[in-house]
Amino acid sequence: MSIQTIGVIGAGQMGNGIAHVMALAEFEVVLSDVSQDALTRAMEIIEGNLSRQASRGKITDETVRATMKRITTTLSLPDIGGTDLVIEAATERETVKQAIFEDLQPHLKPDTILTSNTSSISITRLASRTDRPEKFMGFHFMNPVPVMQLVELIRGIATDQPTYQACLAVVQRLGKTAASAEDFPGFIVNRILMPMINEAVYTLYEGVGNVESIDQSMKLGANHPMGPLELADFIGLDTCLAIMNVLHDGLADTKYRPCPLLTKYVEAGWLGRKTERGFYDYRGDTPVPTR
């Protein structure tokens, strides 16, 4: 099928990035959230990021205006139902995602494709709770969406080939690269990345190194652009913990056991950049390690 309209559910960090790249690729976008403040903030962020692209000569001012006009916002989930492709980008909790698809289902067109931007939850299981498991798949963008080139496409057991091809065509129209992943916990990127971050937290927890030495070692010794603890703060420690729990529960292997220190930071509400404290304290001019 030819996809022209995109519904994005969730106007947070991932949702506004997805709306940005879709509208820039000349799709008509409907962005939905339960909070008007979140929608207002998302539109401000999208316009700011587009303007930054224009200031660098990557797009024109006219493109910025045209892109913003392609995005409409709504507090009403049923308004998403008339789109060709739905991308759910709500919080990384399976019960929340299931409730969204259940509420949306009566309002969908017969041929609408449903997808989730989940970073680790079973696509097969999410699909099984809908009326169209063959038209359901994982559409996992990397953060920040406008910058990162990869999109993981994850087929559930029931996902049919036309659905996969339609989603692949969308990724290609965005000018991004698709990686096909099988539906196992964490898919490809997080199956490899999160245990590395978790091991870095264990290294901190066991006193092998402090925050600065761990991050410096991986940046200068392994040529990583960001240290693992810095990256964890950027992703969000609550998200890292949620993915580690999915890996641990889904694969039943002790090597995926979340580090107790990661759990402690999340319990403290120190979730990284979004709360201004995590493995670094971001409340001053320069981030300061917290351990």
Residue ranges of the annotated binding site for NAD(+) are 10-15, 33, 92, 97, 119, 143, 274
Query: Per the structure block, which two tokens stand in for 42?
Result: 């998302």
SS3 253: coil
Query: Per the structure block, which two tokens stand in for 133?
Result: 């498991």
Kindly list the catalytic residues: 119, 140, 152, 190
State the Cα–Cα distance between residues 57 and 52, nearest whole angstrom: 9
Check: CB of residue 151 under 8 Å from CB of residue 140. yes
In the annotated binding site, the residues are: 10-15, 33, 92, 97, 119, 143, 274
Q: How far is CA 275 from CA 192, 268, 271, in A?
A: 26, 11, 6
Q: How far is CA 66 from CA 6, 62, 144, 233, in A?
A: 16, 6, 22, 34
Query: Per the structure block, which two tokens stand in for 241?
Result: 């913990």
Query: Per the structure block, which two tokens stand in for 177?
Result: 């690269």
Count of CA atoms in the C-beta half-sphere (13 A) of 174: 26
Q: Closest by alpha carbon to 17, among 126, 131, 134, 176?
A: 176
Query: Cβ of 269: how many Cβ atoms within 10 Å?
Result: 11
